Structure 1
Amino acid sequence: MAIVVLPYDDRWPELFAQVCSELAPIFAGLAPAFHHVGSTSVPGLAAKPKIDLHAAFADLATAAAVERMQTVAGYTYHGDKYGDQSWTFTSGRGSYGARLYLCTADNHVLRDRILFRDYLRTHPERADAYAALKLRLMSEANDDWDYYTGGKTEFVRETVRLAQP
């Protein structure tokens, strides 16, 4: 699959809201908090056209949410790939996709993604540097996702460190 990083699209917040409204009935009674994360959640930031979002649940509701999502048409289940108690589902939606993570409200991955997002939102010079890095990696990667993702790791770690209270 080709790695494509696009200029910011003003529709991304609306697409996030649309995905949330589609998921809300599936999680009826489980009361998730939805969080828009990833590059599409940072105004002005170039991004892959994929809406990343977390649905955070109370501890006991997470297992039920994972079970419910496994039966939802149009979503592919990828499991807890990194053993961090964050279960991933993806969906293609025409010109964009969605990547949904199910986790508990106190999950460290969710915490770090929110710190990263909020830091980029309030530090445009850091967001610009991240966009430049992603565009460079896209041109170098030859569609090698491990290269692309791995090339961002240190930048993300350093940004989360800078964002720590």
Structure 2
Amino acid sequence: MMSKRKVEVLPYSSLWLSAFQEEAAILRGIFGSDVLEVHHIGSTAVVGLSAKPVIDLLLVVRSIACVDAHNDAMRGIGYEPKGENGIEGRRYFQKGGNERSHHVHVFEEGCAEITRHLLFRDFLRAHPARAMEYGELKTQLAEQYPDDIEKYIEGKSEVIRQIECDAAEWL
């Protein structure tokens, strides 16, 4: 029987920034001149925000068509290529199986998804009270659904939508 993903939300750790920086350097080495920018996104990118201890990286590339050529190199450093994985125009990689450590989201320059991810992060960075509320919800959901990642995700989806709406108006 396959083990389930445990839902664990931890208080913010300053180690998350250095983990991002280390992985960003490795990914730049793999993608070379195909990568234009590497961003730290998701909850681990917001100082003070409780999060699942998974580092999310967003890579901006010249052309999404070039990304699949790097799948073997990504497997070589422990990533599982997942294709678009539910978001058109994205290439997604996850590392660590059920003990996830990193997610890599790759988008072609100009893709609206880049702005959406960065705006969400930047809004929470600029509004610490909202970040704290979001972190408290995530902690509560992780305690309520420690063995059900789908219920955890579902439980925070409305708040995420509201933050995205507020972030769009804030811009």
Asked if Structure 1 and Structure 2 have the same fold, meaning a TM-score greater than 0.5 normalized by the shorter chain, the answer is yes
Q: How many angstroms apart in 1 are the aligned matches of 2:72 and 2:106?
A: 12
* Equivalent-residue separation in structure 1 for 2:92 and 2:9 (angstroms): 21
Decide which of 129, 132, 135 is 2:133's aligned counterpart. Answer: 129
Report whether the alignment pairs 1:65 with 2:67: yes
Q: Deviations over 1:29-60 (max 9, x none)?
A: 213210110000000111111100110112xx
- Greater relative contact order (CA < 8 Å, ≥ 6 in sequence): 2
Equivalent in 151, 156, 163 of residue 159 of structure 1: 163
Following superposition, the deviation at residue 15 of structure 1 comes to 0.8
Offset of residue 83 of structure 1: 3.7
1:96 to partner: Cα distance: 6.6
Q: Are residues 1:77 and 2:81 paired?
A: yes
The question of whether the paired residues in 2 share the 8 Å contact of 1:66 and 1:102 is answered with no
Gaps of at least 5 residues in structure 2 are none
- Aligned residue number for residue 100 of structure 1: 104
SS in structure 1 of the partner of residue 33 of structure 2: coil
Q: Percent identity?
A: 31
Q: In structure 2, what residue type is equivalent to 1:141?
A: Y
CA contact (8 A) 2:67 2:91 kept: no
The CA deviation string for residues 80-116 of structure 1, in whole angstroms up to 9 with x for no partner, is 12142111101139x8711001111222222111111
Aligned AA (1:78): K
| TM-score, with length taken from structure 1 | 0.91
Aligned to 1:20: 24
RMSD (Å), alpha carbons: 1.7
Per the alignment, in what secondary structure is the counterpart of residue 9 of structure 1? coil
Contact 1:80 1:88 in 2 (8 A): yes
Letter in 2 for 1:48: K
- Asked if 1 retains the 8 angstrom alpha-carbon contact of 2:60 and 2:109, the reply is yes
Match of 1:150 among 132, 154, 169: 154
Q: TM-score, normalised by structure 2?
A: 0.88
Instruction: Answer yes or no: is the 8 Å Cα contact 1:6–1:48 preserved in 2.
Output: yes
Count of matched residue positions in the alignment of Structure 1 and Structure 2: 162
Q: Counterpart of 2:130 in 1: which secondary structure?
A: helix
Give the letter aligned to residue 65 of structure 2: A
Distance 1:151 1:35, change over 3 A: same
Equivalent residue in structure 2 for 1:35, among 16, 33, 39: 39
Bigger helix fraction: 2
State the match for 2:143 in structure 1: 139
SS at match of 1:27: helix
